[in-house]
Structure 1
Amino acid sequence: MDAAERLIESTRELLWERGYTGTSPKAIQQRAGAGQGSMYHHFTGKPDLALAAIVRTAEEMRAKAEAHFSGPGTVVDRITGYLHRERDVLKGCPIGRLTQDPDVMADPALRAPVDETLAWLRARLAELMSEGRESGELDARLDPRATAATVVATLQGGYVLARAAHSVEPFDQAITGVLGLLAAFLPTAHE
């Protein structure tokens, strides 16, 4: 891995662990095993490096989600697979956590990939739910956009609850609850 890659990966880790303010250029350089000259050779400064790290994290998050969304099975199976996928719940969502970072939210360039990723996730879930309605897998009364927003809000809120309790149990309960709500729109639930 070259210096630029080590710097990006180190910044990704530090942003997830410490947030933007707590991630100093010196900490990035130390973790990456790169000097100041190397950092400023590849990036104009901390904001530029943070943007590269956030974009990489967003791309990775989308790829992991899409692997479930475009995989085999019913729409509900694919959404369930995504919600139950392996994740480091107590560390929180690497993108969702950035919404709590005032420096990231105050910088339009840093905020953009965060907003775009969460918007993509809502839109992709809504698309799947629309597909489920069209195929008859989900009841026509289901509102795909509102339900997708509920799923994403529950997922992100589940991380918050788990971190506060220092236990994955609240996260698991939230996922079970939102899947129960989605199950209420299966045609067999109304027969």
Structure 2
Amino acid sequence: MDTAERLIESTRELLWERGYVGTSPRAIQQRAGVGQGSMYHHFGGKPDLALAAIRRTAEELRARAEAQLGAPGPAVGRITAYLRRERDVLRGCPVGRLTQDPDVMANPTLRRPVEETFDWLRTRIAEVLAQGRAAGELADPLDPVATAATVVAVLQGGYVLARAADSAEPFGQAVDGVLGLLAAHATTTTTSSTTG
């Protein structure tokens, strides 16, 4: 891993652990094992480095989500795979946690990749739900856009509940609940084929 990559990865970890204010240039340099000159050779300063780290985290989140959402199979099955994939629940979502960082949210440049990621996620889940509805897997009254927003809100809220309880159990309950709501919109054909 070259110096720039080490700096980006170290900043990503520190942002997740400490937030923007707690991620000092010195902490980044120490974690990356580089000197001050190396950091400023590659990046104009902490904001530039934080932006690169946030963009990288956002790209990784999208790629991991697309692995399940873009897979073959029924819509609810793909969303189930996405929601149930292995996560470090008690650490929270690395992108979602940035929304709780006032310094990131106050900076339009740093906030943009966070906003774009959640826009993308809601849109992508809505597309999957619309595909399921078009294929007759989900009943017509289901609103893909509103339901996608609900899925993302439940996922992010599940992280918050888990962290507050210091247990992954509330996260699992939240996922079970939203999947139960989706199952209630599944057509009879889909329900019988998935249970049989």
Q: Normalising by structure 1, what TM-score?
A: 0.98
Matches within 5 A, 1:8-157: 8-157=8-157
* CA drift at 1:72: 2.1
- Quick one: distance in 2 between partners of 1:54 and 1:155? 20
- Quick one: distance in 2 between partners of 1:50 and 1:159? 23
Who is 2:164 aligned against?
164
Cα shift readout 1:126-150 (whole Å, capped 9, x = no counterpart):
0000111101000000000000000
- Quick one: distance in 2 between partners of 1:190 and 1:66? 24
- Quick one: distance in 1 between partners of 2:138 and 2:45? 49
- Quick one: distance in 2 between partners of 1:169 and 1:72? 29
Cα gap change, 1:190 to 1:91, in 2 (>3 Å) = closer
RMSD: 1.3
- Quick one: distance in 2 between partners of 1:50 and 1:138? 41
User: Which residue identity lines up with residue 14 of structure 1 in the other structure?
Assistant: L
* Secondary structure of the structure 1 residue equivalent to 2:148: helix
Structure 1: tracts of 5 or more residues without a match: none
Cα shift readout 1:138-185 (whole Å, capped 9, x = no counterpart):
000000000000000000000000000000000000000000001110
- Quick one: distance in 1 between partners of 2:31 and 2:191? 55
User: Which residue identity lines up with residue 120 of structure 1 in the other structure?
Assistant: W
Structure 2: tracts of 5 or more residues without a match: none
State the 4+ residue runs in structure 1 displaced beyond 3 angstroms. none
- Quick one: distance in 2 between partners of 1:85 and 1:47? 32
**Is 1:184 matched with 2:175?**
no
* CA drift at 1:70: 1.1
Matched residues, percent identical?
74
Cα gap change, 1:35 to 1:184, in 2 (>3 Å) = same
Who is 1:2 aligned against?
2
- Quick one: distance in 1 between partners of 2:67 and 2:187? 26
Q: Normalising by structure 2, what TM-score?
A: 0.96
User: Which residue identity lines up with residue 52 of structure 1 in the other structure?
Assistant: A
User: Which residue identity lines up with residue 182 of structure 2 in the other structure?
Assistant: L
* CA drift at 1:73: 1.5
- Quick one: distance in 2 between partners of 1:143 and 1:169? 28
User: How many corresponding residue pairs?
Assistant: 191
User: Which residue identity lines up with residue 178 of structure 1 in the other structure?
Assistant: V
